[in-house]
Amino acid sequence: MVHNILRKYGIRGGDHDQHFLVDERILDRIVEAADIQPHETILEIGAGIGNLTERLMKRAKKVVAIERDPALVDVLRDRFGDDGRLEIIPGDVLEVEFPAFDKVVSNLPYSISSEITFKLFRHDFRLGILMYQYEFAQRMVAHANSEDYSRLSVNAHYFADASIIMKIPRGAFSPPPEVLSAVVRLEPRPAPFEVADREYFLHFVTAVFGQRRKKIRNSIIRNKQLLGIDIRDFVDEIPQEMLDRRPENLEPEELARLANILYAHKQNT
């Protein structure tokens, strides 16, 4: 069925992150993982030719599909007509406003996965079932003291519980991408640790992981303009054993503690 859709519209893909998921078993498993209820509104980012969209529409009260490619927007409109269960938003996902939604279920464009994910974190939703490049997914769920632990790991841990629920082979797509993929379950929840200022904490994490192989002390000093503080003025007030470690060896809670100390001094200067 899904291969027929590609042939009908003469869609080839391969450009602009256009690798269409065509394995019907995997499409069904993704929808099952979302546990969609009849009253829910589902956000789909990068709807493509509508393979996932069709399945979401059968379960949800409404599907909001964002698609940038005008040719694919035409496919969606031709395929689903004026079905009231579907709202199509043409445009760049990073520029359009998200309407209210309960869950997000999407095969994300891999080249902007990070930007989309952080935009999603600014919205109130109950569940995300999202496909990423496998290496990106590994970084998202990584823990401290592991090779994949990164800024993404810390920020994801701050906003949500994340877990990889299935690994997707290249052959599930048309055309097959060069990378493996994975589906991640995201469950937003209150932060498990306190930060004095959320934006400052996120800037701090970005700054120190920009030089992840350096000790935290050196990373903070090198980023004093970005962080608005010079720790050499109050270095004795910071736990030295934390300053002597690398960011990849600090738990998210420890990074938050450091950010809070810096923010408090910044506010007092």
| Helix (H), strand (E) at residue 90 | strand 86-90
| Residue 46 is assigned to a ligand binding site | yes
Rounded Cα distance between 147 and 219, Å, is 19
| Residue 21 is assigned to a ligand binding site | yes
Give exposure, 60-82, as e/b (b: 16+ Cβ within 10 Å).
Answer: bebbbbbbbbeebbebbeebbee
| Residue 123 is assigned to a ligand binding site | no
CB atoms within 10 A of CB 111: 11
Rounded Cα distance between 243 and 199, Å, is 21
176, exposed or middle or buried, with CB in 10 Å at 0-12, 13-18, 19+? middle
| Residue 107 is assigned to a ligand binding site | yes
| Residue 19 is assigned to a ligand binding site | yes
| Residue 92 is assigned to a ligand binding site | yes
Binding-site residue numbers for S-adenosyl-L-methionine are 19, 21, 46, 67, 92, 107
Binding-site residue numbers are 19, 21, 46, 67, 92, 107
